[in-house]
Amino acid sequence: MPAAPALGHGRARCTTCMMRNICMAASLEAGEMARLDSVVQGWRSVRQGERLYRAGDPFRSLYAVRAGSFKTVVAPERGKETISGFYMAGDSIGMDGVCKETHNCDAIALEDSVVCVIPFHLLEALCREIKPLQRQLHKMFSAEIVRESRQMMLLGNMSAEQRVAAFLLNVSARYRERGYSATSFVLRMTREDIGSFLGVTLETVSRTLSKFQQEGLLTVQGKTIELLNLDALDAR
Partner DNA sequence: CGATCTGTTGACACTGCTCAATAGGAGTGG
Partner DNA sequence: CCACTCCTATTGAGCAGTGTCAACAGATCG
Quick check: 231 binds a copy of itself (CB under 8 A)? Answer: no
Query: Of these partners, a copy of itself, DNA, none, which one is at the site of residue 209 (CB under 5 to 8 Å by kind)?
Result: DNA
Q: For the range 133-138, what are the long-range contacts, defined as Cβ-Cβ under 8 Å and sequence gap of 24 or more?
A: 133/24, 133/28, 133/32, 133/36, 135/27, 136/24, 136/25, 136/26, 136/27, 136/28, 137/24
54 touches a copy of itself (CB under 8 A): no
Of residues 65 and 194, the one with the C-beta less far from a copy of itself: 194
Q: Which is nearer to a copy of itself, 114 or 189 (CB)?
A: 189
By CB neighbour count within 10 A (0-12 exposed, 13-18 middle, 19+ buried), where does 144 fall?
A: middle
Minimum CB separation of residue 216 from a copy of itself in Å reads 22
Piece of the chain touching DNA by CB under 7 A; list 32-40, 96-104, 144-152, 214-222: 214-222
Amino acid in the structure at residue 202: L
SS (H, E, C) 117-164: EEEHHHHHHHHCCCHHHHHHHHHHHHHHHHHHHHHHHHHHHCCHHHHH
Asked whether position 219 contacts DNA by CB under 7 A, the answer is no
Binding site for a copy of itself (CB under 8 A): 74, 76, 79-80, 82, 84, 95-100, 104-105, 124, 127-129, 131, 134-135, 138-146, 148-153, 155-158, 196-199
Using CB under 7 A, list all residues that contact DNA.
159-161, 190-192, 199-207, 209-210, 220-223
